[in-house]
Amino acid sequence: MAGYKDSRVSSLLCFCQPTGYNAATLIGTNDQVKTKTFRTTKTTSARQRKGITAKPVRNSTGRIVKRFAGPGIQYAKIEMGKVTRFALMVTPVGRGPVHMQLGEALRSLRSVLDHQPEKANVTFQTVFLRDINDQTLCEQILAARYMDEAPATTFVYQPPCTGAALAIEVWATVGKEAYAERPLPNVLQSNMGNITWTHCGGITPRIKTGGVYEQAIDAFRQLKQKLQKMGLKMDHLIRTWLYLGNITGPEGDLERYMELNRARTDFYEGVRFGRGHVMAGVRQAVYPASTGIGMCGTGLTISATAIDTDRKDVFLLPLENPQQTPVYQYETVYSPKSPKFVRAMAEAVGDYVVIWISGTASIVKSKTLHPGDPRKQAEQTLTNIELLCSRKNLARHGAPGVGATLRELAKLRVYVKRPQDYPIIRRVCEERCGRDVPAIYVVADVCRSDLLVEMEGLAFAKRVSAR
CA distance 104 to 341: 36
SS (HEC) of 378-447: HHHHHHHHHHHHCHHHHHHCCCCCCCCCHHHEEEEEEEECCHHHHHHHHHHHHHHHCCCCCEEEEECCCC
Beta-carbon contacts of residue 92 (< 8 Å; ≥ 6 apart): 72, 101, 102, 104, 105, 108, 164, 165, 166, 167
In the chain, DSSP finds a helix count (H) and a strand count (E) of 9, 24
Using CA atoms, how far apart are residues 34 and 271, in angstroms rounded to an integer? 50
Looking at 30-173, list the stretches that DSSP marks H as alpha helix, in order from N- to C-terminal side: 46-49, 98-113, 135-146
Residue 213 phi/psi, 5-degree rounding, is -60, -50
CA within 13 Å, CB half, 106: 23
Positions of the chain with pLDDT under 70: 1-62, 465-467
> What pLDDT score does 26 carry?
27
If you compute the radius of gyration of the chain from its CA atoms, what whole number of angstroms results? 21
pLDDT digits (tens, 9 = 90+) for 125-178: 999 999 999 999 999 999 999 999 999 999 999 999 999 999 999 999 999 889
* Beta carbons of 362 and 369 less than 8 angstroms apart: yes
**E strand or H helix at 462:** strand 453-462
pLDDT (0 to 100) of residue 438: 98
Instruction: Name which of 164, 161, 174 is nearest 138 in CA terms.
Output: 164
pLDDT of residue 405: 96
d(CA 74, CA 167): 12
User: pLDDT tens digit string along 358-416?
Assistant: 999 999 999 999 999 999 999 999 999 999 999 999 999 999 999 999 999 999 999 99
- CA torsion sign for 113, 117, 118, 123 is negative
CA distance 353 to 344: 12
Burial class (CB in 10 A: 0-12, 13-18, 19+), 364: middle
Q: CA of 91: how far to CAs of 69, 85, 96, 169, 294, in Å? A: 12, 20, 13, 9, 20
Amino acid 33: pLDDT: 28
| Helical ranges in 158-293 per DSSP H | 212-229, 256-268
Name the phi and psi angles at 138, rounded to 5.
-65, -40
Alpha-carbon distance of 227 to 205, in angstroms, equals: 16
